Chain A
Amino acid sequence: MKSQKLTLRLLEGVLWMFSAFIFVPYLLVLLTSLKNAKEAGLFTLSVPSEILILQNYKIVFEQGYVIQGFVNSMLIAVLSLFVILMCSALLSFYIARVKDAFSSFLYYFFIMGMMAPISLVTTFELLKSLDLINTRMGVAMIFASTLIPFATFIYVGFVKGLPKELDESSTIDGCGPYKMFFLVIMPLLQPITVTAGILVFMNVWNDSQIVLFFLNDNAKWTMPLNIYRFYGYYRYEWNYIFGSVLLTTLPVFLLYLVGQRFIIEGMTSGAVKG
């Protein structure tokens, strides 16, 4: 027993040692964001000669439109989240409960969506014809179309774990299918909804490609896009770039701290059972 405990302690130590691979980049980001321009370009883990936390972050906030970006990111993320979770929950319920060829086909039809990358130009033409260019709704629809397969994948496994007796008993009680879904099933989907919600939120929040392309108004830029304001052909202002990176990651990081339990728990029920 003693040697087993020793092995475990040793293992723990080794794992913490290797976590340096993860921490060093984070430290680099943090330290660089506090340095002046010259030192920032040197990429060392040294303590800054002058800790410019107020000065640097003030510039990041102003020239990086942090508040505006945050609001835009939140609006888009919440809107997309709502659409995605609602549609996926409904879809997954159907797929998980109905066992016929059509339902099976549906499942694979959606899963296939995860295989093809989004076709930028034709999607642009579509949004243009629907007059949804540069609108948050348009962007949310695009996120929905690419993330519903992902959310469905997570939901289906979980729903299969809900006993059918629930459906039966609520039908006997006189519930129509809609009442059954919204009043009985949805509350039970809480845990997996949190998991899927967090993962979808992270995906939407961190996206740089879709928002750049389909939201071509500076004022509507989300937080990740605001990082662009600090680099271009002629200069890379690393201290502001990393300051912007840090601020962009903060909301997701907080969400992650709060919800990390759910992420792993959710994966237990969903993805693995497939």
Chain B
Amino acid sequence: MRMNAKSAIRYPILFIVPALVIYMIFFIYPTLSGFYFSFTDWNASSTEVKFVGVQQFMDVVQNPDFTLALKNTFLFSITTTLGKNIVSIALAVFLTTALLTRNALRAVYFSPAILNIVAVGLIFQGLTNPDIGFVNHMFRALGLDWFAQGWISDPKLSIHVASVMEIWRATGITMAIYIAGIQNISRDYYEAATIDGAPAWSKFRYITLPLLMPAVTINVLLSLIYGFRMFEGIYFLTQGGPGTSSEVIMTMVYKYMGQGLYGYSTALNLILVVIILIFSFPILSYLRKKEVEG
């Protein structure tokens, strides 16, 4: 039992046990054992598993699709993070002004987040079909034929379509967090600024943005991590195609798992985790610092 130094309130360690047990058994253990297997040649047809060490990672990195998948993973994550956060901050600012239909608008812009990701992938397949999809339909009707691109059947555009899809789907969530953040900012600051004759843009730049920093950090961190880990959205939109143009690391993990090459697949997984850790660590420790101060 942990005794709080100040008084005799007991916070039994037992409180953490249910969560810890489930987390350790069902998440930590399989994840760590996955990391172990990434150094072995475990696959669906092998009867015995042999340790191969770092060679596996050398093989993985030399996979002809690896460089592209890595590039796409970064591209996707950074694009969606920028898109989600910039659009949602703007929306959050607008939707915390005295609009009449403010609540309805908030509900509308949040709504794509409640959709199932498979459904979103299928919807966007229908929207972006180059010949009969709605998007190109509209462009052609408006006479803007040049805009009627190949989208998900164009290797140069496929990953970007996936990014747009994810921004469409998830901006509402980041927006909700920013709205909450803005609502937390004391009105006094704004009133003082109005008295001083500050224009709207200055209010945003010097009051809103700085005080939103904790929310920005969290949202950027979550967006990046989620972007790196993205699988279903891309898989259901393009299956990594056309060809391999929209492969990301997670689609490769799935592909090689489907081929029964489990050691290979978990090695890719481990590489992804390392990348995520490398990128989140600085942001996370910055958060910790702020927490200590705050």
Contacts and interface: CB of A to CB of B under 8 A. Distances in A.
Report A-B touching, CB under 8 Å: yes
Contact of A87 (B22, B101, B106, B181): B22
A268 B180 CA distance: 4
Interface stretch (A50-58, A59-67, A145-153, A186-194): A145-153
A245 B123 contact: yes
B214 A272 contact: yes
Contact of A97 (B11, B106, B253, B273): B11
Interface residues of A, number: 92
A145 B183 contact: no
A151 B20 CA distance: 14
B11 A93 contact: yes
Given A43-B129, A122-B33, A245-B122, A146 B27 contact: yes
A168 B9 contact: yes
A12 B94 CA distance: 9
Contacts of A256: 107, 111, 114
B109 interface: yes
A126 B30 contact: yes
A98 B100 contact: no
Contact of A98 (B2, B23, B34, B257): B2
A29 B177 CA distance: 28
A118 B19 contact: no
Given A16-B105, A176-B10, A272-B214, A115 B26 contact: no
A248 B126 contact: no
Given A98-B2, A274-B218, A115 B277 contact: yes
Contacts of A41: 132
A42 B29 CA distance: 48
B287 interface: yes
Interface string A94-114: 110110100000101011011
A224 interface: yes
A79 interface: no
B112 interface: yes
B169 to A, nearest CB: 10
A22 B13 CA distance: 47
B242 to A, nearest CB: 17
Interface in B69-90: none
A202 B111 CA distance: 12
Contacts of B234: none
A126 to B, nearest CB: 5
A205 B119 CA distance: 13
A134 interface: no
B34 to A, nearest CB: 4
B225 A171 contact: no
B152 interface: no
- Counting chain A CB atoms within 10 Å of each CB, which of B16, B129, B229, B280 scores highest? B16
A244 to B, nearest CB: 9
Contacts, number: 246
B272 interface: yes
Interface in B1-41: 2, 4, 7-13, 15-16, 18-20, 22-23, 25-31, 33-34, 37
Nearest to A181: B15
Interface string A260-274: 100111011001111
Contacts of B105: 12, 15-16, 19
- Counting chain B CB atoms within 10 Å of each CB, which of A43, A120, A142 scores highest? A43
Interface stretch (B59-67, B143-151, B202-210, B262-270): B262-270
B126 A28 contact: yes
Given A29-B123, A227-B122, A91 B20 contact: yes
Nearest to B212: A272
Interface string B145-170: 00000000000000000000000100
A94 B16 contact: yes
B181 A272 contact: yes
Contact of A260 (B29, B100, B110, B214): B110
B266 A15 contact: no
Given A146-B27, A253-B114, A121 B257 contact: yes
B188 interface: no
B171 to A, nearest CB: 10
B53 interface: no
A227 B272 CA distance: 30
B179 interface: yes
Given A245-B116, A274-B218, A264 B106 contact: yes
Interface of B: 2, 4, 7-13, 15-16, 18-20, 22-23, 25-31, 33-34, 37, 91, 94-95, 97-101, 105-119, 122-124, 126-127, 129, 132-134, 137, 168, 176-177, 179-181, 183-184, 214-215, 218, 222, 225, 229, 231-232, 250, 253, 257, 262, 265-266, 269, 272-273, 276-277, 280, 284, 287, 290-291
12 contacts: A22-B111, A90-B16, A98-B11, A111-B284, A119-B33, A121-B34, A121-B257, A126-B30, A148-B22, A168-B9, A242-B123, A253-B111
Report, nearest first, the 7 A-B pairs whose CB atoms are least far apart: A119-B34, A145-B26, A145-B27, A87-B19, A91-B19, A122-B30, A267-B180
